[in-house]
Amino acid sequence: TITILFESATLKKFLPLFLHVVLAACLFWPFISAGQVAIFSYDNLGEIFPLFYYAKHNFANILHGQSPWLWNPVIQNGFPFYSNHWNMIYYPLNWPVFLVSDQDFLKAVTFKSFVEVSLLGIFAYGFFKRELGNSRWALFSSVAYQMCSLLIFTMSIFPATSLFFSMTVYLYLLWSV
């Protein structure tokens, strides 16, 4: 019965999804199990997260009409400082994080990073499957891509993880057209 299970079409279809989520869960398990937040470098804690936190409050001010909308021709050639590449106020996956309470903010950032790492592997699998035409090699390639040293580097510079994820989604979408 186990061989039948492994040969089933349903398992083959969902195995890459399951595997990439499990790999991301293994990476984030020390933080999830201890109820902690993932801070992979001092740069994140001392510089990037405070700016991201500042952007969160500016996002709330924008929504409440207390601050100019995302375009202000008076400052920095039209866009505010908190829309820079460190804070990414224009990045749609940050918007739910900006809406959580201040006490749960870093947990939400950790969860967002977990989701991005999970989806990074899933979209990489879709890309490699289209490019290679073989689901086994696509799974091998996407696992190597998801857990490569670039991921470790991007985790140490928080916004780079979102860039790594976004570029993977763009590659998948370009190859899907």
Query: What pLDDT does residue 165 have?
Result: 87
160, 43 contact by CB (below 8 A): no
Query: What pLDDT does residue 118 have?
Result: 94
Q: Which pair of tokens denotes residue 14?
A: 């969902």
Block mean pLDDT (10 aa), the chain, length 177: 59 86 90 79 71 81 75 61 65 86 85 91 94 92 90 76 87 89
Confidence (pTM)? 0.80
Query: What pLDDT does residue 172 have?
Result: 93
